[in-house]
Amino acid sequence: MIRKHLCYILLAIVITSCSTNPYKNTEKVYDKQLKTLENQITSKEVQPIPSVSPVVIDTTYAQQLGIVKDTLSKTGSTILLNGINTEWIGTVNFNLRKPSFIIIHHTAQDSVQQTINTFTKTKTQVSAHYVISENGKVVQMLNDYLRAWHAGASTWGKNTDINSSSIGIELDNNGFKPFTEAQISSLVALLTKLKKDYNIPTQNILGHADIAPGRKQDPSALFPWKTLAEKGFGIWPDEILEEAPFDFKIEQGLRIIGYNTKNLSAAIMAFKLHYIQTDTTATLDRKTIDTIYSIYKKQVQ
């Protein structure tokens, strides 16, 4: 009787081992899709950036700084037009992520090459997806789908891991000089592509200072946020400010916009660095309050 049961067990094992995998076809589809994603993520081909209309940095503050027009020129074999192709240089610091924000930085270094060296050394533990030189050359250092290490300890609204949801763009600038028109022109061209590719909301194009009040000040007060907003990248207060209601709660308004207000003074300064720029103190004058109210209204629309 035992021998008979053993025979049945052995027969069942043989039948099971010889049966067809019911998920064989779906596994093939999975493997094919996995390979497609792998190829997409590991691709190092040159990517085209769309042409855009000429960008003129035209804010009153920029004019006071004496910004002059800069022409596009050649660097090595790269043709610097507004339809330029990016050059690929891979960074060593990354992991997986999905982009829904774009964070703009200035490098606070002396050259693009210095920044590239920083991003290609493991010990630095810092990276970004793109670096844009003063003459408009764009270097891509990480696939958009991968997670760079550019935001650090940052928050926006309830998002406490900005690195996992953002594309980092570094502008070659030491933080004390105006950004060139060639550089901003290439930035606008790049933003045009990225915003379309990933359906990134207009209000999700921010500066490092916005997401890290008190810890970071980049891009500096010299950055032309108004020009970008006019091109559809970020929001800007109304030209004629509506007076904020008497009961408008400033701290709550800043939080709804996205700012971390644990240090309210730092949040006010970060806001002014982006939207007022001629005054980046923590002073809450009438203009500051009404500007916060203007951005608050646009954020909740």
What is the Cβ-side half-sphere exposure of residue 11, based on CA atoms within 13 angstroms? 6
3-state helix, strand, coil in the chain (%, to 5): 40, 10, 50
Choice among 66-70, 128-132, 175-179, 221-225 with the minimum mean pLDDT: 66-70
Please answer whether residues 171 and 191 qualify as being in contact, where contact means their C-beta atoms are separated by less than 8 angstroms: no
Q: How many CB atoms lie within 10 A of CB 97?
A: 19
pLDDT of residue 60: 47
Long-range contacts of 111-114 (CB under 8 A, 24+ apart): 111/172, 112/137, 112/139, 112/172
H or E element that contains 35: helix 24-42
Tell which wins on pLDDT, 106 or 68: 106
- 14-42 pLDDT, tens digit per residue, is 454 445 666 666 666 666 666 666 776 66
pTM of the entire structure? Answer: 0.78
The reply to whether 242 belongs to the active site is: no
State how far the alpha carbon of 138 is from the alpha carbons of 51, 142, 184, 290, in Å: 14, 12, 11, 37
- The pLDDT of 262-281, averaged and rounded, is 95
Confidence class for position 201, pLDDT limits 50, 70, 90 = very high
User: CA-to-CA distance for 270 and 282, rounded, in angstroms?
Assistant: 9
User: CA-to-CA distance for 149 and 144, rounded, in angstroms?
Assistant: 12
Tell which wins on pLDDT, 62 or 31: 31
- The pLDDT of 127-155, averaged and rounded, is 89
Preceding omega of 99 cis (within 30 degrees of 0): no
Which one-letter amino acid corresponds to residue 207? G
**Which residue from 142, 138, 99 is spatially nearest to 120, judged by alpha carbons?**
142
Catalytic option among 170, 181, 239, 251: 170
pLDDT of residue 69: 36
pLDDT of residue 62: 43
Q: Is the model's pLDDT at 66 over the cut of 50?
A: no
- The pLDDT of 213-233, averaged and rounded, is 94
pLDDT of residue 59: 47
H or E element that contains 166: strand 166-171
**Which residue from 300, 294, 272, 267 is spatially nearest to 285, judged by alpha carbons?**
272
